[in-house]
Amino acid sequence: MATQMTKSSPISYSNSSLFDRRPLHFDPSLKRNRLNQLFTTVAGLFASIAVLPLFLVLIYVLIQGGKLISLTMFTELPPPPGLEGGGIGNAVLGTMLVTAIAALIAIPVGVGGGIYLSEYSSRGWFAQFVSFGNDVLAGVPSIISGVFVYGIVVSTRFFFDQSYSAMAGGIALSVLMLPTVIKTTDEGLKLVPQELRMGAYGVGASKFVTITRVTLPSAFTPIATGVVLAIARAAGETAPLIFTALFSPFWPEGVFNPIATMSVLIFNFAIMPYEAQNELAWAASFVLVMMILAANILARWISRMAKV
């Protein structure tokens, strides 16, 4: 019977019309291919224009500030106006200190807010209000954050009768970090499969244990990426620090005193009519850009780790 079926219905793949076609090749004479090339070129041109400012800024800052980088740049204080030499050591330490204060405030609050939105809220009116307010806060100009903290902390001498301080600057930067941390935590927790939660509940784990032992570790990568990006944004802000941390030409004297930061140093020295201060402003610009670039590269690396 098998022989009969073979004889009655022979199949010849080599002679079948299904495979008897011209080989696929690109024909540039076709109108659709010409249009495709045209629009591909236009899209590539627009993409190049979009990233061109980034490369121009990096190259210009590298040329102007990179040549001034030396070990003494990080170990000495800025010179008095008009004098040469000195460094930006106090501003580097001040930027790290203020950013660390902001991170210590924003990360716990932001992660907690994201956990509430994703795990505890039933997406009722209050959760929608918090989510909407977080989106609005993300678009508020940074100077508004500085003015707000100035009115609440600086003008009232809230901390030990001190006005301008590193603590006030950290609080202002934490306000700017919060929307990013909350949003990335919320979205990262939504990516965790529901089956993991159900499995934890099935073995008797409470909601708190499920979140701390299962959900949060699974969403660590997107949360960490958002935290790094928030820190990178805060480290480069200037306006909030002018109203809160002010500036100091000396080494940091604690978190409740005025403190130097690189962004404010750049602002102050760039408008001075002295070449030495202008050069220090370029050097500080180079260091700040490299720090922010490194933070963004770290964030990209962390996000790629989630895909491995």
CATH number at residue 175: 1.10.3720.10
Query: What are the tokens at 1?
Result: 């019977």
Quote the pLDDT of residue 67: 86
Query: Does some domain include residue 201?
Result: yes
Q: Which residue would you say has higher pLDDT here, 224 or 25?
A: 224
Query: What are the tokens at 236?
Result: 């480069």
Q: Is 80 exceeded by the pLDDT of residue 12?
A: no
The predicted model gives 145-171 an average pLDDT of 93
Query: Does some domain include residue 42?
Result: no
Amino acid found at 268: N
C-alpha 163: how far from chain center: 30
Task: Residue 301: name the closest of 192, 233, 234, 221 by CA.
Answer: 221
Number of folded domains that form the chain? 1
The predicted model gives 49-65 an average pLDDT of 90
Quote the pLDDT of residue 15: 52
Query: Does some domain include residue 110?
Result: yes
> 113-146: per-residue pLDDT in tens?
999 998 888 778 888 899 999 999 998 999 999 9
Query: Does some domain include residue 223?
Result: yes
Q: Is 70 exceeded by the pLDDT of residue 10?
A: no
Q: Is 50 exceeded by the pLDDT of residue 17?
A: yes
> Is-contact 245 267, C-beta < 8 A?
no
- Kindly give, in sequence order, each residue whose CB lies less than 8 Å from that of residue 188, ignoring residues fewer than 6 positions away: 114, 219, 221, 222, 223, 226
Q: What is the pTM of this model?
A: 0.82
Query: Does some domain include residue 163?
Result: yes
Query: Does some domain include residue 12?
Result: no
- Kindly give, in sequence order, each residue whose CB lies less than 8 Å from that of residue 239, ignoring residues fewer than 6 positions away: 141, 142, 143, 146
> Is-contact 98 257, C-beta < 8 A?
no
Confidence of residue 6 (pLDDT cuts 50, 70, 90): very low
Quote the pLDDT of residue 160: 85
Query: Does some domain include residue 145?
Result: yes
From 71-75, 119-123, 149-153, 182-186, the region with the lowest mean pLDDT = 119-123
Q: How far is 215 from 119, CA to CA, in rounded Å?
A: 9
Please give the residue range of the domain that contains residue 295: 71-305
- Kindly give, in sequence order, each residue whose CB lies less than 8 Å from that of residue 300, ignoring residues fewer than 6 positions away: none
Quote the pLDDT of residue 96: 94
Query: Does some domain include residue 57?
Result: no
Amino acid found at 10: P
Confidence of residue 308 (pLDDT cuts 50, 70, 90): low
Q: How far is 76 from 88, CA to CA, in rounded Å?
A: 6
